[in-house]
């Protein structure tokens, strides 16, 4: 769900010859998904669907061995809503994988205002596990980012924006893009790096 450019699903098909469905609302992402499918796993049983993930329903409920939503819980109105939605698509005994941020410490009011984020938007790492278990799922694995992971993710965006600006100086949106990146960089370095982290949670459905 919210598969983006489909890299995760394509790699699974390359490694394990899976069948699967990728859903994303962006026509640009789905276009790239289809191109990757043609070029890398043309004979795989993978479908990509352009639609709002919240509206997607599999042909048969509880029909997937594995359902994932990595970093897009907003599709279902939050983390708990995401787990509830994915549970309805997953076979008994199947896996649900969700990527979600969590607070390392109580965020300052200054950070929340600068980032446009609410304190209740995220919980703690412990809370992310407990929410899933309260929904009747069993947490069997977590993978939590460290500062190196977080830095790589954030600073690679700065690098890409800089490369793009140098290669496309006449783009009318360059000034806005550079200014937004500058603001996001300051928020990350001043507050976010020490306040927010990221985890991937693997649950087993009973």
Q: What is the CA radius of gyration of the chain?
A: 19
* 68, 18 contact by CB (below 8 A): no
Tens of pLDDT along the chain (206 residues)? 999 999 999 999 999 989 999 999 999 999 999 999 999 999 999 999 999 999 999 999 999 999 999 999 999 999 999 999 999 999 999 999 999 999 999 999 999 999 999 999 999 999 999 999 999 999 999 999 999 999 999 999 999 999 999 999 999 999 999 999 999 999 999 999 999 999 999 999 99
pLDDT attached to residue 174: 96
Q: How far is CA 174 from the centre of its chain?
A: 26
Pairwise CA distance, residues 180 & 158, whole Å? 11
pTM: 0.92
pLDDT attached to residue 160: 97
């Amino acid at each position: 769900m919210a598969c983006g450019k489909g890299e995760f699903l394509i790699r699974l098909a390359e490694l394990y010859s899976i069948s699967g469905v990728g859903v994303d609302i962006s026509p640009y992402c789905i276009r790239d998904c289809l191109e990757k499918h043609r070029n890398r796993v043309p004979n795989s049983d993978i479908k990509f669907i352009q639609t709002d993930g919240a509206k997607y329903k599999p042909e048969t409920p509880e029909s997937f061995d594995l359902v994932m939503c990595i970093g897009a819980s907003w599709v279902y109105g939050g983390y708990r809503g995401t787990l509830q939605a994915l549970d309805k698509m997953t076979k008994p005994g199947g896996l649900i994988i969700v990527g979600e941020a969590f607070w390392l410490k109580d965020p300052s009011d200054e950070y929340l205002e600068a980032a446009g984020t609410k304190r209740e938007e995220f919980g703690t790492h412990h809370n992310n596990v407990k929410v899933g278990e309260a929904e009747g799922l069993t947490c069997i694995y977590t993978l939590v980012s460290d500062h190196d992971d977080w830095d790589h993710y954030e600073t690679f965006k700065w690098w890409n924006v800089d490369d793009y600006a140098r290669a496309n100086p006449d783009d009318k949106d360059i000034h806005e893009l550079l200014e937004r990146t500058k603001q996001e960089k300051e928020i990350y370095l001043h507050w976010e790096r020490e306040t927010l982290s990221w985890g991937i949670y693997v649950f087993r459905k009973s």
